[in-house]
């Protein structure tokens, strides 16, 4: 068993993985060719520490976070490798081949890819049975969900091991049992994203109006009940059966354009950019990250007080970290 976790790629996702592991007392080695790696890691670790204080979690001895000069140095002796390279199959495969060459043969290699099937990544690496997708959600140090998906060569032991690893850092691993492009969550997000682009393209709504529809309305329900449980409640005493019989027929009405996407013309891109700037341009990205983390922490603590949904994961995290 290795003595540290290796993070390969330290952008938004990789650096937040490093923070989550380190704040659970796990030593981390990071490899990323960017000259700004040290700064990005410091900024994200600062955000993560602040967010955890908002959660009221007990301080624990942090694991070390060390930037090394090569993938080889990062993965040698690692018990878990988390690859978070750019979402390009050719780049990822080349990096995964190097990881597999130098890490112990039984080390789990997890890719943070948001949509590439693991079978498309594991064919050329040594010991392909230990490669799995571990797809998290930003910010990784706060949001507990991680989708776990194996490929054709992935072993059941690998799935079990990586699920345990993620649980040990207070995450909620969701086993995607059927290998599919974009897994579960991003397929749902894609549907909302497509319809939102059409609403902007057709002049129906601005980016801010669409965000208001989500954050003041159904987004609040989704945060603690998801989709099906929300609709079960909407069915009243008749339950989900009553709801689907009443509203199911409307699915045949031509409300959505889910099978098509507007052409991303320069005009549409500029409109989206201008509307987004008008909506949020007065804040820096770091300011928006703090607002996001503060609000997420408050929602998670409210859910924790009722031991419900992601709040139950926070309760388990608090118990895990409390001496």
What CATH number should be reported for the domain whose range is 185-321? Answer: 1.10.1040.10
* Cross-strand partners of 175: 148
DSSP class of residue 214? I
The gap between the terminal CA atoms of the chain, to the nearest Å, is 25
What is the arithmetic mean of pLDDT over 151-172?
A: 98
Q: Which two three-digit tokens encode residue 210?
A: 């669409």
Tens-place pLDDT, residues 179-236:
999 999 999 999 999 999 999 999 999 999 999 999 999 999 999 999 999 989 988 9
Q: Which two three-digit tokens encode residue 36?
A: 């700004």
Residues of the chain with CATH 3.40.50.720: 4-175
Note the pLDDT of residue 261. Answer: 87
What is the arithmetic mean of pLDDT over 137-158?
A: 98
3-state DSSP percent of the chain in helix, strand and coil, to 5: 55, 10, 35
pLDDT grade for 30, boundaries at 50, 70 and 90 = very high
* Cross-strand partners of 28: 5, 65
pLDDT more than 90, % of the chain: 88
Tens-place pLDDT, residues 233-272:
988 998 888 888 887 877 777 777 777 889 999 999 999 9
Global model pTM greater than 0.85: yes
Note the pLDDT of residue 225. Answer: 95
Q: Which of 91, 93, 183 is nearest to 135 (CA)?
A: 183
Tens-place pLDDT, residues 7-25:
999 999 999 999 999 999 9
Q: Which of 261, 253, 321 is nearest to 58 (CA)?
A: 321
Tens-place pLDDT, residues 164-195:
999 999 999 999 999 999 999 999 999 999 99
Calpha distance 92→86 (Å, rounded): 7
Q: Which two three-digit tokens encode residue 306?
A: 């009722």
Q: Which CATH architecture has domain 4-175?
A: 3-Layer(aba) Sandwich (3.40)
Calpha distance 265→201 (Å, rounded): 10
Is the pLDDT at 53 greater than 80? The verdict is yes
Report yes or no: 257 and 198 within 8 Å, Cβ to Cβ. yes
Note the pLDDT of residue 1. Answer: 66
DSSP secondary structure, 94-144, as one string:
HHHHHHHHHS-TT-EEEE--SS--THHHHTTSSSGGGEEEEEE-SSTTT--
Note the pLDDT of residue 104. Answer: 95
Report yes or no: 80 and 106 within 8 Å, Cβ to Cβ. no
Mean pLDDT of all residues in the chain?
A: 95
Backbone torsions φ then ψ of 248, nearest 5 degrees: -55, -45
Residues of the chain with CATH 1.10.1040.10: 185-321
């Amino acid at each position: 068993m290795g003595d540290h976790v290796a993070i390969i790629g330290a952008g938004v996702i990789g650096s937040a993985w490093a923070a989550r592991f380190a704040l659970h007392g796990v030593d981390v080695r990071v490899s990323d060719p960017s000259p700004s790696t040290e700064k990005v890691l410091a900024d994200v670790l600062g955000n993560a520490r602040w967010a955890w204080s908002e959660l009221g979690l007990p301080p624990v001895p942090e694991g070390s976070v060390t930037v090394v000069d090569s993938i080889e140095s990062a993965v040698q002796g690692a018990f878990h490798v988390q690859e978070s390279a750019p979402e390009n199959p050719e780049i990822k495969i080349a990096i995964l081949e190097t990881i597999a060459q130098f890490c112990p043969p039984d080390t789990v290699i997890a890719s943070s890819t948001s949509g590439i099937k693991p079978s498309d990544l594991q064919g050329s690496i040594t010991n392909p049975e230990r490669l799995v997708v571990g797809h998290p959600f930003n910010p990784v140090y706060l949001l507990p969900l991680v989708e776990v998906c194996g490929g054709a060569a992935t072993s059941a032991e690998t799935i079990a091991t990586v699920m345990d690893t993620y649980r040990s850092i207070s995450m909620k691993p969701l086993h995607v049992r059927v290998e599919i492009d974009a897994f579960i969550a991003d397929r749902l997000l894609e549907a909302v994203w497509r319809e939102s682009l059409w609403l902007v393209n057709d002049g129906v709504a601005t980016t801010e109006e669409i965000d208001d529809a989500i954050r003041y309305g159904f987004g609040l329900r989704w945060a603690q009940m998801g989709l099906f449980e929300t609709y079960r409640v909407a069915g009243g005493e008749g339950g989900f059966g009553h709801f689907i019989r009443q509203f199911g027929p409307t699915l045949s009405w031509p409300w959505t354009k889910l099978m098509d996407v507007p052409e991303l013309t320069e005009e549409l891109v500029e409109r989206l950019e201008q509307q987004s700037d008008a909506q949020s341009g007065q804040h820096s990205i770091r300011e928006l990250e703090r607002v996001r983390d503060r609000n997420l922490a408050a929602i998670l603590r409210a859910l924790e007080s009722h031991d419900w949904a992601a709040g139950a994961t926070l309760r388990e995290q608090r118990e895990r970290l409390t001496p």
